[in-house]
Chain A
Amino acid sequence: MAHQTHAYHMVDPSPWPLTGAAAALLMTSGLAMWFHYNSMLLLTLGLLIMLLTMFQWWRDIVREGTFQGHHTPPVQKGLRYGMILFITSEVFFFIGFFWAFYHSSLAPTPELGGYWPPTGITPLNPFEVPLLNTAVLLASGVTVTWAHHGLMETNRSQTIQALTLTILLGLYFTALQTMEYYEAPFTIADSVYGSTFFVATGFHGLHVIIGSTFLIVCLLRQIKFHFTSTHHFGFEAAAWYWHFVDVVWLFLYVSIYWWGS
Chain B
Amino acid sequence: MLRNLLGLRQISQRTISTASRRQVANRVPEKQKLFQEDNGMPVYLKGGLADGLLYRTTMALTVFGTCYAVYELFVAAMPKKVK
Contact residues of A with B, CB < 8 Å? Answer: 1, 11-16, 18-19, 22-23, 25-26, 29-30, 32-33, 36-37, 41-42, 45-46, 48-49, 52-53, 56, 60, 63-64, 66-69, 223-226
Are A225 and B73 in contact, with the CB atoms below 8 A? no
> B residues bordering A, Cβ < 8 Å?
24, 26-28, 31-32, 34-36, 38, 42-44, 46-47, 54-55, 57-59, 61-62, 64-66, 68-69, 72-73, 76
Closest Cβ of chain B to A25, distance in Å, is 6
Q: In the complex, A42→B76 CA distance in Å?
A: 14
Whether A67 and B55, one on each chain, are in contact in the complex, defined by CB atoms closer than 8 angstroms, is: no
Interface residue SS majority, chain A: helix
With A14-B44, A52-B54, A56-B54 as contacts: A46 and B65 at CB distance below 8 Å: yes
Question: Once the chains are docked, how many angstroms separate the CA of A11 from the CA of B61?
Answer: 25
A-B contact count (CB 8 A): 93
Do A49 and B35 touch (CB < 8 A)? no
A56–B44 CB distance below 8 A: yes
B58 touches A52 (CB 8 A): yes
Interchain CB contact under 8 A, A15 and B55: yes
CB-based contact A22/B43 at 8 Å: no
Asked if A45 contacts B65 (CB within 8 A), the reply is: yes
A172 to B14, CA, bound (A): 36
Q: List 24 A-B contacts (CB under 8 A).
A: A12-B43, A14-B43, A14-B44, A19-B59, A22-B62, A29-B73, A36-B76, A45-B65, A45-B68, A49-B62, A52-B57, A52-B61, A56-B54, A56-B58, A60-B44, A63-B35, A63-B47, A66-B28, A67-B28, A67-B34, A67-B36, A68-B32, A224-B24, A224-B26
A53 to chain B, nearest CB (A): 7
- What 18 new A-B contacts, CB under 8 Å, besides A29-B69, A66-B31? A12-B44, A14-B42, A25-B69, A26-B66, A36-B76, A37-B76, A56-B44, A60-B44, A66-B28, A67-B28, A68-B32, A68-B43, A224-B26, A224-B28, A225-B24, A225-B27, A225-B28, A226-B28
**Is A18 touching B62 in the complex (CB atoms < 8 A)?**
yes
Interfacial chain A residues near B64, Cβ < 8 Å: 45
- Check A68/B36 contact, CB under 8 A, given A29-B69, A60-B43: yes
- Cα distance A132–B12 in the bound complex, in angstroms: 45
